[in-house]
Amino acid sequence: MSMLKLGVNIDHVATLREARYRGMVRGEPDPTEAARICEAAGAHGITAHLREDRRHIQDRDIWRLREAVKTRLNFEMANSAEMVEIALKLKPEIVCLVPERRQEVTTEGGLDAAGHEGELTETRNRMDAAGIEVSLFIAPDLAQVEAASRIGAQYIELHTGAFAEHFQSKRERNEEIQRLIAASERAHQLGVQVNAGHGLNYENLSLMHLVPHLVELNIGHSIVSRALVVGLTSAVKEMLALMENYPAQ
Ligand code: PXP
């Protein structure tokens, strides 16, 4: 049995720093220090998104993270020429391609992989040549899963935002869970590994146990928020505890 892994997204540590220290070369809190604490607490990977607008993580952060991260660095990025060049130099273990511009987004908020197969395949080829795995952040939609498979992505990350948003309505959240299950099963049939994330928290996490074939969850906001109350080590450990006993796949 392989356990469900936790990737901690530390973007919002940088969001807090930028709120006070924007434009300055240093400031607190430090996302690299946070990454070290997450790893020591048992996180299996660290995720950071260098946005084109640099609203939270800065360029200096990703280089420091590359040096500090001992588990797996998941570099979230738009599929732009600038970000592809950075990724090829940075050499994270994996990149997760996410939409940043309106035309790249499906109505459910994931990357429109089906609409951008050519460009995404080209990037996947370049990452392959550099030994970097590729994940595509997509809505739980069968057409998108099948496009991800044709593109040759090793992973998809299923967008759990709609599930999280509808969590208070039992009927709607069950519909979203069914979509996540169907998408994960299709990916598994096609030999694509499945991660999930966005909006997962200490309350809605238990329902992720219903979704089969999950390898890793990427969680940011809820863990960084909880850290204000109990500290980052405990926040990570509490989330890991909720992820235990994920059924053997
Ligand atoms: N996965 C992806 C692809 C994301 O873009 C984000 C948000 O930056 C997350 C996971 C984490 O979402 P949250 O901060 O809501 O846990």
Per residue in 193-245, pLDDT tens?
999 999 999 999 999 999 999 999 999 999 999 999 999 999 999 999 999 99
DSSP secondary structure code for residue 207 in this structure: G
**From CA 135, how far away is CA 154, in angstroms rounded?**
6
In angstroms, what is the span from residue 20 Cα to ligand 1's centroid? 22
Neighbouring C-beta atoms of residue 63, cutoff 10 Å: 14
pLDDT at residue 108, rounded to an integer:
75
Of the candidates 111, 112, 117, 96, the residue with the CA atom closest to the CA atom of residue 50: 96
Give the domain ranges of the chain: 5-243
Residue 197 Cβ < 6 Å to ligand 1: yes
Please name the residue whose Cα sits nearest to atom 9 of ligand 1.
Answer: 198
Q: Which residue has the tokens 């994940």?
A: 135
In the three-class reduction of DSSP (H, G, I as helix; E, B as strand; rest coil), residue 36 is classed as helix
Ligand 1 atom with least separation from CA of 221: 14
Q: Name the fold adopted by 5-243.
A: TIM Barrel (3.20.20)
Ligand 1 pocket check for 141: Cβ under 6 Å = no
Contact, 238 vs 202, CB < 8 A?
Answer: yes
Task: Say what the pLDDT of residue 104 is.
Answer: 79
Q: Would you call 33 exposed, middle or buried from its count of C-beta atoms within 10 A (0-12, 13-18, 19+)?
A: middle
SS3 119: helix
Q: How far apart are CA 231 and CA 243, in angstroms?
A: 19
Encoded amino acid at 197, one letter: G
pLDDT computed for residue 2 by the predictor: 63
**Residue 43 CA neighbour count, 13 Å, CB half:** 31
Q: Which amino acid is at 66?
A: R
Enumerate the active-site residues. 49, 76, 198
Best residue among 137, 198, 200 to mutate for probing ligand 1's pocket (most ligand atoms within 8 Å of CB) is 198
What is the value of pTM for the model shown? 0.97
Look up residue 21 and give its two tokens: 């220290």
The response to whether residue 7 sits with its C-beta less than 6 Å from ligand 1 reads: no
Residue linked to tokens 């996410």: 98
